[in-house]
Amino acid sequence: MYLNPFTFHQPTTISEAARLLANSPHSKLVAGGSFLINNLKQLKRRGMKTPGHIISLKNIIELKGIAVDHQKLVIPSMTTIREILECPSLDDNFRILKNAAKNIATTPIRNTATIGGNLTCRYTWTEMPAVMIALEADFHFIGADNHEHTLSAENFFKNGAKTDKILSHITILRDKNAALVYARVRRSGYVDIPLLSVCLKTAFEKNSLTKTCLAINNSVEFAQRDTKLENFLNQRPIFQELPQEALDHLHEAIYNTRADDYKKYIFRVTLKNALAELIQKKPGILK
Ligand SMILES: Cc1cc2nc3c(=O)[nH]c(=O)nc-3n(C[C@H](O)[C@H](O)[C@H](O)COP(=O)(O)OP(=O)(O)OC[C@H]3O[C@@H](n4cnc5c(N)ncnc54)[C@H](O)[C@@H]3O)c2cc1C
């Protein structure tokens, strides 16, 4: 199928791209194109208006190249899922990004799909949002005024993941003491997109969990924290039955988005297993 005609822009700087975005009526950014091209086809098929201007981020060098040091990780938005998966310097709390990346789609899609596209596409089921919330990441945006606007991942998704700016990069602070787990429930064996993804971060203090951050993506709403469960877990002494007992302290509305009882059950089993895996990370505990 031929796409409707549009003007294709290939800016080489973020400020040029931001200006084009603000000044071209009915324009759209394209990063890897793994969603956008299909979206354009769907709009055409339905007889709906398609953007007159497509602004590619591909030639903007500032949007590429992961940087990591002893304090923080900087992931520019044009970093592909494959680059995250293969980055040799993701250690400590940053390593969890690889666990999530390895589940995403297939090799050809991971080669083109970008982290920026995954976070800003507004599909509620993509997996990186829960990981970014659990890692307490900050998102940095550039608007037409060329100023940087920073928003926490949690607030970005709380506000419906809407932006009229360019996501330029993501920053995450290094945390050597954090223990993290990532888990997901597959939709089916064929279409490998998740029904649920969960990322848990905690720090062990003596025999308790502290500063627990539990981000859930039920694929119906944008990723969010289950603060009710976090409150239950924080300062809780670790004991064998903790993962089971935790299931009595869920913010139920987050997990009950499916009419199917089996899916509701699987969500709880996944969460329980993720919690069990998390507490196993404390050396010498429950082994
Ligand atoms: C078959 C298939 C299976 C998949 N399976 C999974 C899966 O299992 N788990 C998962 O998490 N994801 C999955 N994905 C989603 C995949 O990760 C996304 O397609 C991808 O991340 C989107 O990135 P992109 O660079 O191709 O975005 P594009 O298609 O280029 O853009 C998507 C949207 O994001 C906007 N955008 C992109 N970059 C920016 C930016 N820097 N600033 C502002 N707006 C921007 C665009 O304007 C567009 O609206 C799957 C996709 C496909 C096609």
Domains for the chain: give ranges and CATH numbers: 7-56 (3.30.43), 63-173 (3.30.465.10), 178-279 (3.30.390.50)
- Taking the CA of residue 110 as reference, the ligand 1 atom at the shortest distance is 17
What does pTM read for this prediction?
0.95
Cα gap 225→201, rounded to integer Å: 11
In ligand 1, which atom is closest to the CA atom of 167? Answer: 42
Residue to mutate, 3, 21, 28, 29, ligand 1, most ligand atoms under 8 Å from C-beta: 29
Cβ of 203 less than 6 Å from ligand 1: no
| Pair 136, 202: CB distance under 8 Å | no
Strand partners, 237: 208
Q: How far apart are the C-alpha atoms of 200 and 198, rounded to whole Å?
A: 7
Distance from Cα 121 to the centre of ligand 1, integer Å: 6
Amino acid present at 104: I
Q: What is the pLDDT along the chain (287 residues), one digit of tens a residue?
A: 789 999 999 999 999 999 999 998 899 999 999 999 999 999 999 999 999 999 999 999 999 999 999 999 999 999 999 999 999 999 999 999 999 999 999 999 999 999 999 999 999 999 999 999 999 999 999 998 889 999 999 999 999 999 999 999 999 999 999 999 999 998 876 667 899 999 999 999 988 999 999 999 999 999 999 999 999 999 789 988 999 999 999 999 999 988 889 889 999 999 999 999 999 998 665 44
28 lines ligand 1 (CB under 6 A): yes
Nearest-atom index, ligand 1, CA of 115: 21
- Give the Cβ contact number of residue 189 at 10 Å: 6
